[in-house]
Homo-oligomer: A and B are copies of this chain.
Amino acid sequence: MFTGLCAFPLTPLHQQTIDEKAFIRLLDGLTDAGVDSLGILGSTGSYAYLSREQRKRVVQVAKAHAGSTPMMVGVGAIATSEVLRLVEDAQQAGADALLLPMMSYQPLFAEEIYAFYEEVCRHASVPVCLYDNPRTTHVTLSDELQGQIAALPAIASIKIPGLPAPQASERVAALRRHLPGGVTLGVSGDVRATAGLQAGCEVWYSVCGGLFPRISLALVKAICHGDAAQVAALNKQLAPLWRCFDRYGGSLRVVAAAAAILGLCDPDSLPRPLLPLGEEACRDVAAALHGLA
């Protein structure tokens, strides 16, 4: 399941509680489009803001609507004890894989990070994707450390940050040298996904794919087929969305605004302290959506 398009849907809220109807609408859009896998409770799914009970419910709802689409579930938390509880919940609810970031409060030593992955992977009965997201976690994982962690039998993939186009191939090759065969690399940071996939990443862990699965699937397909003209055409369509990601503090608030504009969820669907984008930004997002209809 760690190839192709892994789509990360929002977990939309209504009055700060899970909006199950809206969540199901999003899930149905993804399974209908035929994404290769679902990434439930990723950063876009607001995992870090939801209680254990909320997260358990989200996974249950997702499983009930995933059909035959494999489902990866984010299980990040600051305390290892909480991560272990979330692993158990996710597995009991039918997760096909786990997405495991290293969150931190106190800065961590490399040996603490390794011991964390070792302990959690020992409790996992499904494959684990190492989630490297220094922008949100402020934890930096060296290539050597990623290699050590990837050697744990449970690790099947690594979700890496977006890659700047000029260095993408070198970066992927450098990291790959530390990894055992069979561990796939997946690029996130949607703005730079094309560079990552062209550099040899096997999967796109995609925020864009969580709301716009068809154009995202088309992009993955065009890159796989080496269809440069189609890749360029699709990226031209997506460019206004990428610009909104850059302009409005990342992808999350923009995708939440886009989902609301499309009538799929409440305009105020993000967990506090996050606020919805303002009117002017929403107009920009709406304009970006014209090209994606």
* Interface, chain A (partner B; CB < 8 A): 16, 43, 48-51, 78-82, 102-109, 111-113, 115-116, 119, 135-138, 249-250, 252, 271-275
> How long is the Cα–Cα vector from A50 to B252 in the complex, in angstroms?
27
CA A109 to CA B247, docked complex, whole Å: 12
- Complex CA gap A112/B48 in Å reads 17
Q: Which of B138, B249, B271 contacts A81 (CB 8 A)?
A: B271
Q: From residue A184, how far is it (CB to closest CB) to chain B in Å?
A: 25
Q: How far is the CA of A272 from the CA of B104 in the complex (A)?
A: 11
| Residue among A50, A136, A274 facing the most chain B CB atoms (10 A cut-off) | A274
Question: How many whole Å from A177's CB to the nearest CB in chain B?
Answer: 27
Pick the contact of A105: B43, B79, B119 (CB < 8 A): B43
Interface of A is mostly: loop
Is the beta-carbon distance between B116 and A272 smaller than 8 angstroms? yes
A106 close to B274 (CB less than 8 A):
yes
Within 8 Å by CB of A49, from B49, B78, B115, lies: B78
Specify how many copies of this chain sit in the oligomer: 2
Contacts of A106 in B (CB 8 A): 43, 48, 136, 249-250, 252, 274
Inter-subunit contact B80/A273 (CB<8 Å): yes
Contact status B275-A79, CB under 8 Å = no
Residue in chain B with minimal CB distance to A113 = B273
Say yes or no: B272 contacts A81, CB within 8 Å.
yes
B residues near A48, Cβ cutoff 8 Å: 78-79, 105-106
A49 to B103, CA, bound (A): 11
Residues of the B chain whose Cβ atoms lie less than 8 Å from the Cβ of A103: 105
Q: What 5 A-B pairs come out closest when comparing CB atoms?
A: A80-B272, A48-B105, A116-B273, A49-B79, A138-B138
Instruction: Return A68 CB to nearest CB of chain B, in Å.
Output: 32
Nearest residue (CB) in B for A107 is B249
Contacts A49-B78, A78-B49 given; indicate if A136 touches B274 (C-beta within 8 A): no
Question: Cα distance A80–B13 when bound, in Å?
Answer: 14
- The interface residues of chain B lying within 8 Å CB-to-CB of A135 are 107
* Cα of A176 to Cα of B14 in the assembled complex, Å: 40
Other A-B pairs, 18, CB within 8 Å; known A51-B81, A115-B275: A43-B105, A43-B106, A49-B79, A50-B79, A103-B105, A104-B273, A105-B136, A107-B135, A107-B250, A108-B274, A109-B249, A109-B275, A112-B273, A112-B274, A115-B272, A115-B273, A116-B272, A119-B272
Query: A138 CA to B104 CA in the complex, in Å?
Result: 10
Q: Which residues of chain B come closer than 8 Å to A274, judged between CB atoms?
A: 106, 108, 112
Q: How far does the alpha carbon of A81 sit from the alpha carbon of B15 in the complex, in Å?
A: 11
Most chain B CB neighbours (cut-off 10 Å) among A43, A81, A138? A81
The minimal Cβ–Cβ distance linking A152 to chain B, given in whole angstroms, is 15
Contacts of A273 in B (CB 8 A): 79-80, 102, 104, 108, 112-113, 115-116
